[in-house]
Structure 1
Amino acid sequence: MNNEAGLALHWKILIALCAGVIAGYFTADLSLGSVSAVSVYEFIGQLFLNALKMLIIPLIASSIALGVAGLGNTDSLGTMGLKTGAFYILTISAAIFVGLLIVNLVQPGIVDGQPAGDLLALTQSTENVEERIAGRGLAEIPKILLNAVPQNIVAAAAANEMLALIFFSAVFGYFMSQIDHELADTLYRVTSGVFETMIAITHWVMRFAPYGVFALVAAVVAKTGFSAAGPLVTFSLSVVAALLFHTLVTLPLFLRFVGGVSPIRVFNAVVPALLTAFSTASSSATLPVNMDSLEHRAGVPNKYTSFVLPLGATVNMNGTALYECMAAMFIAQAYGLDLTFTTQFLICAIALMTSIGVAAVPSASLVAIAIILTAIGLPIEALGVLLVFDRILDMLRTTTNVFGDACCAVIVARLQGEELPAVRRST
């Protein structure tokens, strides 16, 4: 039977989520001999989480190397390329800052002054984590930077030292673009082959996502009832507020004061792309609509959209980076960890890199959040609670991603001297 003819994956996940809630509630005390329903749910859920973890090392290494190799190509690193890259880094950093600010103000992982870990059925010990991050201050930043340059990249990968892996992959990708073309092409094809293989494996793993979601949600509900809903709703609303602020305030400020254009006119021009992004939750699927909207409704020349937008669909993930940062902070709060400035800085730095590195992967945020949790030593079991509202949040953060790409194309065109009368602000 052809899977394409059946329900879309997000509908399967939604059905599995609802079924998991019902099954968890009615089978909380069910057991067959020494085997309880909860233990079965946890076993299936852990299998799914292990499969996600299996993807991390080869996926992050190949995707970042390819992304940096594309940027490092001398044909791309002209004035337009530098402006595009700078704007992407600037807006992603701004998105992360917005997310970090809101999650620290709202503190969705704290309920009535207490960590929400028990309500969310987060049971793994964080004793080693507390020892690892306790007392960290600004003096730890040089140590973090030193650890980012690995003595042995194989050992770093085996030890899940993600910052070291990201650094090595970025350096490898850049210099892959600088060597002899014949050798570079060979390396690029090999790296592309690894990346495409990992994409295929990711698609395969995600076919089992409904079963994993069912089991993870059922386990949480079976152990906590519906008490977990409170902090999850608070967290989700916090994410929505942060995404709206970045989309409706931060990016329009860039449009007005850097690009000298009307944010309202740009927004109106790309409405078809934003609606497509929201409905499909796919930046890649929205790319043709975004290009058409900017060229025919905003008057941005093709030479800008054809470079900026495809690159942005891969590396410019404002909403994804914001969500990754907030999710990691929410989980840390739920475990009762008081994260210092240095640790929060580390979370932000990894969120920036992973949002670039794995942006084109289905459910990329799950893989990226797993990388962040591993980097700061938090148990990966907490990923399960994020799946409850992930589809809705994915639609919203994809919309933010696509609008960020559109803003960049408009601003780069203006900085390159284009007039763009269709979106120029009134004087």
Structure 2
Amino acid sequence: MTSSRRLSVFLSSLSFRVVVGLVAGLVVGALAQGSGSPVALGAVGVVEQLGQVWLNALRITVIPLVFGLLVTGIVSIADAAATGRLAVRALVVFGVMLTGAVIYGILAGLGLLALWPIDPESGRALLAGIPVEAAAEVGAAAKTDGFKAFLDSLAPANLIQAAASDGVLAVVVFAIVFGFAATRLRAELRRSLSTFFEAVAEAMVVIVHWVLLAAPIGVFALALGVGLRAGLGVAGTLGHYIAIVCLSQIGLILLTYAVAVVFGRISLGRFAQAIAPAQVVAFSTQSSLASLPAMVDRARTALGIKASTAGLVLPLAVAVFRLTSPVANLAVCLYVAQLNGVELGLPALIAGGLTAFAVSIASVGLPGQVSFFAAVGPICLAMGCPLGVLPLLLAVEVVPDILRTVGNVTADLAATRIVQGRDEAPEPDPGAAI
């Protein structure tokens, strides 16, 4: 695809329209603030309430979407593991790398925000524009007084009540247990149950798509209040947010290179040169699936990986493995926490890490805008962070999303090389002897 064609596609995309909605809302809100007209200020208040309705329409899908995706994801992983030792080895590598990514994501997010904190005045200005209903919501995780309360939240007496009170971690834990229990059923019952929850998740995705069609209007409405109360100065805070999330992901990508060199038994120069073409495809398409042909080619021709290994591990990685997800999502949630002045204790961080690990599997394969809310929303709720600012952060997700894809492609190839373990001689061409 030529650069002019890519630009044309971006200008017609939802991401571009959402950015336009954000900028227009901030500008119109700032102009209304400058005018001081009672009529203009009253109109802004009415439009702002429409933004809250749009945000609630997104929130209502989070619990059933995450539950359905987790159940079907666990069943699919169990089915993949049943295909043989190579698949099991790949899943173990994925699991270890994801665990490391969660730990890194928490440490990197906290470290970056400690070294480069949010400007208090700019943060207060941004929050001043968020509707009161959204800004006041704080989940139970941030209020826990110790591990007893945290452990109690893992197994509540009433799951429905826990879901209604944003006890997302309890829902995630039950969904994981339910998914593993489903893998013990007879094949026909397992397929029926998996199909049901797959249908539930797909229905939620359709609803989210419908809601996201109004995203430019919803973001405009929410940004209008921000522009009214904070003016255009919030642009600096949004730029700071982009920098923190991107730096977290860049650090992960560099760490992935080191992991590939140490555990994949390959030189840094060779690994970097081998994966560069696949990274270019990832950068231009922002899709791991679209990058799969390039990944398979580079794995076979430049990374010394057998065709049979690349043919199994890379598609499996695209299906269930997204290394940048917990890092980027935790960076978002930690930013939201500092922005709202939420003090995160160890229970809240553990709750956020466990949820980030789970939803990184559940959200694989979802479109960018859908996965942002499906992944970040539950983690924020598990950590006790309000959701009101998320639509504004979605509007500037374009740049971090590019790094998400580049990081995922890098991790997929690194994991495949680790599963291979060493260079292999090319397999003979079956047609050569004919």
Shorter-chain TM-score bucket reads 0.7 to 0.9
CA distance 1:192–1:102, shift in 2 (3 Å): closer
Structure 1 distance, partners of 2:102, 2:140, is 26
Distance in 2 (alpha carbons) for counterparts of 1:244 and 1:383:
22
Whether the 8 Å contact between 1:52 and 1:205 is mirrored in structure 2 is yes
The residue correspondences of 1:390-409 to structure 2 (distance < 5 A) are: 390-409=397-416
* Among 188, 196, 203, the residue aligned to 2:194: 188
Is 2:180 the counterpart of 1:174? yes
> 12, 23, 36: which is aligned to 1:7?
12
The answer to which of 330-339 and 157-166 deviates more is 157-166
**Equivalent in 374, 380, 384 of residue 387 of structure 2:** 380
Distance apart, 1:401 and its partner CA = 1.6
Partner of 2:357: 352
- In the alignment of these two chains, the number of paired residues is 412
Aligned-pair Cα RMSD in Å: 3.0
Once residues 382 and 96 of structure 1 are traced to their aligned partners in structure 2, the CA distance between those partners, rounded to angstroms, is 23
Partner in structure 2 of residue 425 of structure 1 = none
| Deviation per residue, 1:116-172 (Å, 9 max, x gap) | 2334434648788499745734xx1x5423422343433333333211211222222
Tell me whether 1:328 sits opposite 2:333 in the alignment: yes
Matched, 1:419 2:426: no
Measured after TM superposition, the shift of residue 225 of structure 1 is 1.0
Task: Determine which structure has the larger helix proportion and give its number.
Answer: 2
Task: Give the Å deviation of 1:68.
Answer: 0.6
Partner of residue 73, structure 2: 67
TM-aligned CA deviation for residue 74 of structure 1: 7.1
Q: How many Å apart are 1:60 and its aligned residue?
A: 0.5
**Corresponding residue for 2:241?**
235
Aligned residues of 2:62 and 2:378 also touching (Cα < 8 A): yes
Residue 39, structure 1, aligned to residue 48, structure 2: no
- Superposed, 1:255-270 pairs within 5 Å as 255-270=260-275
Change (3 A) 1:143 1:72: farther
Question: Secondary structure of the equivalent of 1:27?
Answer: helix
Contact 1:70/1:177 (<8 A) preserved? no
Equivalence for 2:429 = none
Counterpart Cα distance in 2 of 1:119 and 1:183: 50
The corresponding residue for 1:410 is 417
Tell me what 2:294 maps to: 289
Cα distance in 2 for residues equivalent to 1:53 and 1:213: 15
In 2, Cα distance between the equivalents of 1:268 and 1:74?
A: 31
Please identify, of 16-25 and 185-194, the stretch whose mean Cα deviation from structure 2 is larger. Answer: 16-25
Partner in structure 2 of residue 136 of structure 1: 145
Q: How many angstroms apart in 2 are the aligned matches of 1:32 and 1:303?
A: 69
1:365 to 365, 372, 378: 372
- Any residues of structure 2 matched to 1:60-139 within 5 Å, and which? 60-73=66-79, 76=82, 78-107=84-113, 110-111=117-118, 116-121=123-128, 122=130, 124=132, 129=138, 133=142, 136-137=145-146
- Residue 111 of structure 1: CA displacement? 4.3
Runs (5+) with no aligned partner, structure 1: 423-427
* Separation (CA, whole Å) in 1 of partners of 2:250 and 2:161: 41
**Cα contact 1:320–1:398 (8 A) shared by 2:** no
Contact 1:31 1:37 in 2 (8 A): no
Corresponding residue number in structure 1 for 2:6: none
TM superposition score normalised by structure 2:
0.84
After TM superposition, give the deviation of residue 83 of structure 1 in Å. Answer: 2.6
- Cα 1:74–1:99 change in 2 (3 A) is closer
1:336, distance to aligned residue in structure 2 (A): 1.6
Q: In 1, are the aligned partners of 2:109 and 2:331 still within 8 Å (CA)?
A: yes
Pair 1:290–1:30, CA change in 2 (3 A): farther
TM-score (norm 1): 0.86
Q: 2:5: which partner in 1? A: none
In structure 2, the CA distance between the partners of 1:284 and 1:197, relative to structure 1 (3 Å rule), is farther
- Give me the whole-angstrom Cα distance separating, in 2, the residues matched to 1:412 and 1:293: 15
The alpha-carbon deviation at position 255 of structure 1 amounts to: 0.9
| Distance in 2 of aligned mates of 1:307 and 1:145 | 38
- Cross-structure match for 1:278: 283
Partner AA of 2:372 in structure 1: S
Check if 1:153 corresponds to 2:159: yes
In structure 2, relative to structure 1, the CA distance for the partners of 1:39 and 1:289 (3 Å cut) is farther
Q: Any conservation in 2 of the 1:176–1:184 contact (CA below 8 Å)?
A: yes
Percent identity reads: 27
2:187 maps to amino acid: H
1:112 CA drift (Å): 5.2
**Could you tell me which amino acid in structure 1 is paired with residue 222 of structure 2?**
L
- Does the C-alpha gap of structure 1 residues 59 and 21 become closer, same or farther in structure 2, counting only changes over 3 Å? same
Which amino acid is 2:336 matched to?
I
Find the aligned partners of 2:199 and 2:247 in 1 and give their Cα distance: 39
* Residues 299 and 420, structure 1, Cα contact 8 Å, conserved in 2: yes
- The answer to whether the 8 A contact 1:71-1:81 is kept is no
> CA 1:76/1:402 → structure 2, altered by over 3 Å: closer, same or farther?
farther
- Of residues 46, 52, 55, the one that matches 1:49 is 55
* Partner residue of 1:342 out of 341, 347, 353: 347
* Residue of structure 1 aligned with 2:214, choices 205, 208, 217: 208
Higher mean C-alpha displacement, 288-297 vs 338-347: 288-297
**Rounded Cα–Cα distance in structure 2 between residues aligned with 1:34 and 1:16:** 18
Letter of the aligned partner of 2:333 in structure 1? Answer: A
Q: Give 1:156's aligned amino acid.
A: A
Query: Please, which runs of 5 or more residues in structure 2 have no aligned partner?
Result: 1-8, 427-434
Secondary structure of the structure 1 residue equivalent to 2:184: coil
| Partner amino acid, structure 2, of 1:349 | L
Q: In 2 relative to 1, CA 113–261 (structure 1 residues): closer, same or farther, beyond 3 Å?
A: same
Measured against aligned partners, the alpha-carbon deviations of 1:360-397 in whole angstroms (never above 9, x if no partner) come to: 22221223221122223332112133134211111111
Structure 2 CA distance, aligned partners of 1:92 and 1:413?
18
